[in-house]
Amino acid sequence: MNETMIHCQAVSKSYKKGNTLVTPLESLDLEVPAGEFLALMGPSGSGKTTLLNLLSGIDSPSSGKLVIHGTELSGLSRRDLTAWRARNVGYIFQLYHLIPVLTAFENVELPLLLSPLSKRDRHARVVAALDLVSLTDRMHHTPSELSGGQEQRVAIARALVADPPLLVADEPTGDLDRESANRILELLQQLARRHGKTIVMVTHDARAAAAADRTLHLEKGVLLENP
């Protein structure tokens, strides 16, 4: 049986917006085994991205227990959480968020710059990551010289290059045409099945969700397996 990658127990997230207390997630329980490709669907404002931010350690829950890859995140200091994020999570954004003045190679290399790896080792890892997304021939191109699908593949290579066990993807196909979207989804499936990555993908697109092993629906901060 696969080990548990994500364990959420009664996780809530609230924040103040003006004088109003907003609670995008309320007492959420979730269990994701390692190597699973999970799709999260739900209407806008249902808390999908908030959950993704909590899972990736860029936001903290207001209450509840969140254990990822054996580490309880609420017990970590900000500094430790940053270091944990660098080792354990790769984040794929809807709009890629590549740094425009850097080449594909340099963008993918970014997560490794703070590691103790030598230049040669970094180079080897970046080339391997770009090879995995079939973009070694475009490594010296800047984002403006790439198509949307290619940019997203570079972003996936960047998320992968530090070899994190967990990938979170926020509508990774939301800005792509169908053909490019299919290619990205195949790549994510391959990463889960062949490379054992745990993937949590937020999507609005039922066809994209169909590529995942399991789909959960978020409605007003509550998870539903079969809506």
Partner 1 sequence: MNAFFNLLKLAWVQLIRHRVRSSLTILGVASGMFLFTAVETLQRSLAKATAATAADTTLVVYRENRFCPSASRLPEHFADEIRRIDGVREVIPVKILVNNCGASLDVITFRGVPEGLLKKFAPEIEIVAGSEGAWSKRDDAALLGETFAKRRGLKPGDQFDAAGVTVSVAGILRSPFPQDNNVAYVKLPFLQHASKSGLGVVTQFMVRVHAVGSLESVANAIDEQFRSTQFPTDTRPEKAFFAETAAELIELIGFTRWLGVGAVIAVTALVANALLLAVRGRVKENAVLRTLGYPGRAIACLVVGEGGMLGLAGGLFGVGLGAVFLRWQSFTMGNEGQTLAIQPDAFVVTAGISAALLLGVLASLWPAFQAMTQPIVKNLRS
Contact residues for partner 1, defined by CB under 8 A: 53, 56, 58-59, 79, 82-83, 85-87, 89, 91, 93, 97, 99, 101-102, 106, 110-111, 113-116, 158, 162
Helix boundaries (H) for 110-147: 119-132
Give the integer Cα–Cα distance in Å for 137 and 127.
Answer: 10
Straight-line distance from the first to the last Cα atom of the chain, in angstroms, rounded to the nearest whole number: 27
Question: In the bound complex, what is the minimum distance in angstroms from residue 142's beta carbon to partner 1?
Answer: 9
Q: Rank residues 92 and 211 by Cβ distance to partner 1 and give the closer one.
A: 92
Question: In the bound complex, what is the minimum distance in angstroms from residue 79's beta carbon to partner 1?
Answer: 6
Give the integer Cα–Cα distance in Å for 172 and 148.
Answer: 11
Q: Rank residues 30 and 102 by Cβ distance to partner 1 and give the closer one.
A: 102
Burial of residue 84 (CB within 10 Å: 0-12, 13-18, 19+) is: middle
Q: Rank residues 122 and 217 by Cβ distance to partner 1 and give the closer one.
A: 122
Question: In the bound complex, what is the minimum distance in angstroms from residue 111's beta carbon to partner 1?
Answer: 5
Q: Rank residues 10 and 95 by Cβ distance to partner 1 and give the closer one.
A: 95
Q: Rank residues 56 and 198 by Cβ distance to partner 1 and give the closer one.
A: 56
Q: Residue 111 belongs to what H/E stretch? A: none
Burial of residue 206 (CB within 10 Å: 0-12, 13-18, 19+) is: exposed
Give the integer Cα–Cα distance in Å for 10 and 121.
Answer: 42
Q: Rank residues 138 and 158 by Cβ distance to partner 1 and give the closer one.
A: 158
HSE on the CB side for 124, CA within 13 Å?
5
Question: In the bound complex, what is the minimum distance in angstroms from residue 179's beta carbon to partner 1?
Answer: 26
Q: Which of 62, 76, 73, 71 has its CA nearest to residue 27? A: 62
Question: In the bound complex, what is the minimum distance in angstroms from residue 52's beta carbon to partner 1?
Answer: 10
Question: In the bound complex, what is the minimum distance in angstroms from residue 131's beta carbon to partner 1?
Answer: 20
